[in-house]
Amino acid sequence: MSGQNLDIAVTGLAAISAAGVGTEPLRAAVASGTSRLTPLPEEILGEAGHRWGKAEAFRAADFMPPLKARKFDRCSLLATVAAGMALKDAGIDLAGTDPSRIGIALGCGFGGIANSVELLSGYFSKGVEGLVPMLFPNTVPNAPASNASIEHGLKGPNVTQVQRFCSAEAAFQMACRFLEEGRADVMLTGGVDELNAPMVQGFHAMGQLRRHARGFGEGSGILVLERRRDALRRGAAVRGTVTGIRTLGFVPPDAATEGKARLVGTGTPDIVSLSGTGAELPWLREGLAGDRIEIGPLVGRSLAMGGLALVTLISLMPEGAAGLHLAASPEGPFFAIDIAGGSPG
Amino acid sequence: MTRPRIAITGIGIFCAAGSDVPSFTASLLEGRSAIGPVDLFDVSPFPARIGAQVRDFDPAGHFDRQTAAHLSRADQFALIAAREALEASGIRRHRDPFDIGVCVGAGAAGMIHGEQWLRERVEGKPGHPAQLRGLLPDRAATVLASHFGLHGYQGSITTACSSSATAIGWGADLVATGQLTACLCGGTDTLSLLTFTGFNSLRVVDPAPCSPFSLGRQGISLGEGAAFLVLEREDEARSRGARIFGFIRGYALAGEAYHMTAPEPSGSEAARVMGAALAAAGVSPEEVGWVNAHGTGTPLNDVVESKAMRQVFGERVRQVPLVSTKAMTGHCLGAAGAIEIAATAIALGAGTIPRTLNFRGADPECDLDYCHDGPRPSTAAVALSNSFAFGGNITCVVVSR
């Protein structure tokens, strides 16, 4: 896929992760290089020695009344709260904005699984009497984006992407495209994932805890995007500018050289963010100049962790710096996103 | 810059109503319902024991044993339908694989296998980890890309029942903007206990074959299947001499921001998206010959969709049939949009407006033309396909012949 001549501004950022609530704890974790992973409770797998990146500091009650929070699954809570934080950070006044012009494109790898497990476990244990109807609506992976749109009144384009370790990047690309095409004036994007015991047990059964030994994580990284000219017109602070997105699907070993040439581009980034399994692919990472950021070892890995990785990259980029975000999944896809720091003239 | 027209150069379908385009076309044009007993799992505890199940499916008829063992039922359906679409288009003989992408509207994916793992765990057994292999909705896109060697793009849209309509709209965007030369896009989904129990727990499944827009309807009939389209720019398709089955003229998508499961009751949000799709396509409401309804057969949804029709088409609304093909295919959830867009293109090409099956009597709240009386000849060149989903996600796609 060819590059694009984008001119999209990032005007709002929000993060909830194992590092804490907000972008600052995440920046601090990266700055100090300190892992925020904690021991996985022994009762989940019946054995010790594993770690995970649970967003322990996140309390829904800090953001909404408990009765309201009950209708959300954890994934939806993480997305809804982070979406609100990102909108506030961008200085967007929802009351003064046409809701049909604000949309959301979200990556969500594991959304819905917790409710699916609970619904089915009730059925397997007690039959029809064990079914809890209120669990079913949030079994769909689009529940986090949809719940966020319902809570904040966003009536623009609404999409969820699940695509391996590039779920957030795939959503990010859509959000940029929707802005370029005029489908919306403001797009929230990024990623959300949750961690729960049945998921970890499933990862364990499939050998994924060994494969991704540094631990799975959860959280939500949300970015607010606008066309740059619109952002400047309303006097918004531009945190970064998206100047290019390239992506590939399946790349067989004999096409790795061509794949990398098509993906990485010819720029010389000051900072490279590696997400998903990017750091594990020699053909992708070797020869890359610039400082490296990889948040997976610090807060855990998830399918939509690209949202948090992009938030981190943009938070850390000095004005005018050139950033390259690279994300990969073992069998594809692959994404490269060019970011210019701050608001260069 | 004028947006190029996006041509459909390949169609593939595999569902209960037809195992390929010819057999599906016959069911569509002759009005044959595929809804019948479900025996994929135990449905005896439920009042509704029917659905549009792909009966007597044997993977060995399509795949070698080793390949089949690594694929979920949804992946298998996807591969069968995608192969038909790719072969019809011939695209792989003409284009660089780096310029062809895959975009799948995904539903429950391999849930039918994953829930077996969970059942065994609940019963205190270890469960076989291979049953979890296809659980994530992105699996089909990855399988299609690697199986057919398509390097350009890999994406999975998960907007519940509008997933594959969104995937087709997004695929058209990727081609129209020059990011891909061609895109294989569509959707796949299978029956599973999760959706069967879930919709039953919400009491929106009809014990009898679903009867969209009819008096006494009680809800949906679930279905399963896959449908894929190959999309290309019209000029590039013509330059290589490809057969053109129709066009994706434009689409719109939005969230209603109203409720996770209930539609916005006035129909104004649905009407807004239908209108936006027509505007994106550069098509006026007067040009629309008929609408392929979301038309699930649930009491509320059918009324809201009829209300939206009145807002979009005004005084002309009774001249624009609102047809639901779900009484034929069942509600195929993640694959529904793709199956219905394919059905729309096929019917437009055949010059026929399909029939809404299983009429039980006139509902005063659904007082439009639903083609309950039978398929009819039509010279319509343009139709709209509606897909509404959990979360208030709506996608409307404009199709033309």
Domain final position from B200, B227, B246: B246
Question: What angle in degrees, to the nearest 10, is found between the helix axes of B111-122 and A113-126?
Answer: 50
ipTM: 0.97
B257 shares its domain with B233: no
Q: Please indicate, yes or no, whether residues B167 and B288 belong to a single structural domain of this protein.
A: no
Please tell me the distance from the alpha carbon of residue B388 to that of residue B395, in angstroms, as a whole number: 7
Asked if A124 and B118 come within 8 Å (Cβ–Cβ), the reply is yes
Report whether A211 contacts A301 (CB < 8 A): no
Per-residue pLDDT tens over the stretch B330-354: 999 999 999 999 999 999 999 999 9
Specify whether the CB–CB gap between B308 and B274 falls below 8 A: yes
Q: Do A103 and B137 touch (CB under 8 A)?
A: no
What is residue A212's predicted lDDT score, i.e. its pLDDT?
Answer: 64
Residue B198 to residue A119, Cβ atoms within 8 A: yes
Q: In the prediction, which pLDDT does A207 show?
A: 84
One domain, residues B284 and B188: no
Which of A2, A123, A158 faces B393 most closely, judged by CB atoms?
A158
Collect all residues of chain A within an 8 Å Cβ-Cβ radius of residue B259.
Answer: 150
Determine, yes or no, domain membership for B1.
Answer: no
Q: Given pLDDT bands bounded at 50, 70 and 90, which one contains residue B117?
A: very high
Contact yes or no for A189/A10 (Cβ under 8 A): no
- Chain B: give the shortest CA distance to residue A339, in Å: 19
Of A136, A162, A249, the CB nearest to B201: A136
Residues of A in contact with B113 (CB under 8 A): none
Q: pLDDT at position A265, please?
A: 78
Q: Is A283 on the interface with B (CB under 8 A)?
A: no
Chain A nearest-CA residue for B198: A136
Do B318 and B302 lie in a common domain? yes
Return the structure tokens found at B78. Answer: 């996807």
Q: Is the pLDDT of residue B58 over 70?
A: yes
Q: Which residues of B touch A205 (CB under 8 A)?
A: 117, 126-127, 129, 132
- pLDDT value at position A1? 44
Mean pLDDT along residues B217-226 = 98
Of A23, A104, A105, nearest to A311 (Cα)? A23
* Distance from the B177 Cα atom to the nearest Cα atom in chain A, whole angstroms: 9
| Cα→Cα distances A213→A30, A46, A50, A220, B133, Å | 19, 17, 8, 21, 19
Chain B contact set for A255 (CB, 8 A): 98, 151
Closest CA to B232 of B85, B81, B20: B85
Do residues B182 and B95 lie in contact, with contact meaning Cβ atoms separated by under 8 Å? yes
- Count residue pairs from A and B with Cβ separation < 8 A: 223
In chain B, which residues have their Cβ closer than 8 Å to the Cβ of A1?
Answer: 98-99, 101, 152-153, 174, 179-180
Counted domains in chain B? 2
DSSP A92-107: --GGGS-GGGEEEEEE
- Asked if residue B76 belongs to a domain, the reply is yes
| CA distance to partner chain B, nearest, from residue A208 (Å) | 11
Q: Say if residue B44's pLDDT is above 80.
A: yes
Q: Is the Cβ pair B255, A119 closer than 8 Å?
A: no
User: Does residue B270 sit in the same domain as residue B175?
Assistant: no
Contact between A2 and B178 using a beta-carbon 8 Å cutoff: yes
Length of chain A: 345
Residue B108 within a domain: yes
Residue A76, chain B, CB below 8 Å: the answer is: no
Q: Are residues B97 and B203 in the same domain?
A: yes
What six digits make up the tokens of B303?
A: 């009324």
In chain B, pLDDT over 90 holds for what percent of residues? 97
Which residue of B115, B157, B257 is in closest CB contact with A153?
A: B257
Q: Collect all residues of chain A within an 8 Å Cβ-Cβ radius of residue B200.
A: 128, 131
Give Cβ neighbours of residue A227 (< 8 Å, ≥ 6 apart): A7, A8, A9, A179, A180, A185
**How large is the C-alpha radius of gyration of chain A?**
19
pLDDT of B48 above 70: yes
User: Inter-axis angle of helices A143-152 and A74-90, to 10 degrees?
Assistant: 50
For residue A45, give how far its alpha carbon lies from the nearest alpha carbon of chain B (Å).
12
Task: Output the pLDDT for position A280.
Answer: 85
- Nearest C-alpha of chain A: how many angstroms from B41? 13
Give the burial string for A293-325 (b: 16+ CB within 10 Å, else e).
bbbbbbbbbbbbbbbbbbbbbbbbbeeebbbbb
* Interchain contact A155–B (C-beta under 8 A): yes
Same domain, B210 and B139: yes
Task: List domains and CATH numbers for chain A.
Answer: 8-234 (3.40.47.10), 241-341 (3.40.47.10)
Active-site residue list of B: 161, 294, 331
Residue A289 is predicted with a pLDDT of 83
Please give the structure tokens belonging to residue A88: 């506030």
Strand (E) or helix (H) holding B325: none
Residues of B in contact with A156 (CB under 8 A): 254-255
CA–CA dist A140, B337 (Å, integer): 16
Contact A250 B142 (CB under 8 A): yes
Higher pLDDT, A289 or B250: B250
Inform me whether the C-beta atom of residue A147 falls under 8 Å from chain B C-beta atoms: yes
Q: What is the pTM of this model?
A: 0.97
Pair (B240, B310) in one structural domain = no
Last residue of a domain, one of B246, B278, B304: B246
Query: A296 CB near a chain B CB, below 8 Å?
Result: no
Q: Are residues B179 and B157 in the same domain?
A: yes
User: Is any Cβ of chain B less than 8 angstroms from the Cβ of A132?
Assistant: yes
The β-bridge relationship of strands B246-255 and B288-292 is: unpaired
How far is Cα B264 from Cα B257, in angstroms, rounded to an integer?
9
Nearest of B399, B388, B279 to residue B344 by alpha carbon: B399
**Extended strands (E) in B237-350:** 246-255, 288-292, 322-323
Give the residue on B whose Cα is nearest the Cα of A143: B391
CATH of the domain at B312: 3.40.47.10
Please list the alpha-helical segments (H only) found in chain A.
23-32, 42-45, 66-69, 74-90, 113-126, 143-152, 167-180, 197-205, 208-211, 228-233, 256-264, 282-285, 296-299, 306-316
**Residue A282, SS3 per DSSP:** helix
Structure tokens that stand for B207 in this block: 């014990």
Same domain, B191 and B258: no
Of A137, A153, A206, the CB nearest to B260: A137
Q: How close does chain B come to A219, measured CA to CA in Å?
A: 19
CB contact under 8 A, A149 and B391: yes
pLDDT score, position B30: 95
A304: nearest Cα among A213, A209, A196, A193: A193
Burial label for A287, CB within 10 Å (0-12, 13-18, 19+), is exposed
Distance from CA of A39 to the nearest CA of B (A): 24
**Bridge-partner residues for A222, per DSSP?**
A14, A190
CB contact under 8 A, A146 and B200: no
Q: For each of chain A's 345 residues, which pLDDT tens digit applies?
A: 444 568 899 999 999 999 999 999 999 999 999 999 999 999 999 988 899 999 999 999 999 999 999 989 999 999 999 999 999 999 999 988 999 999 999 999 999 899 999 999 999 999 999 999 999 999 999 999 999 999 999 999 999 999 999 999 999 999 999 999 999 999 999 999 999 998 899 888 888 887 666 799 999 999 999 999 999 999 999 999 999 999 999 988 888 888 888 998 777 899 999 999 888 888 888 888 889 999 999 999 999 999 999 999 999 999 999 999 999 998 899 999 999 998 644
**Residues spanned by the domain of B387:** 248-400
pLDDT for the residue numbered A267? 78
Considering the domain architecture, whether residues B199 and B141 belong to the same structural domain is answered as: yes
Which of B126, B152, B261 shows the shortest C-beta gap to A137?
B261
CB of A129 within 8 Å of a chain B CB? The answer is no
Domain boundary among B223, B246, B269: B246
Q: Locate A269 and state its tokens.
A: 């980034």
CA–CA dist A302, A300 (Å, integer)? 7
Partner B, chain A 25-54, Cβ-Cβ below 8 Å: none
Domain shared by B53 and B189, yes or no: yes
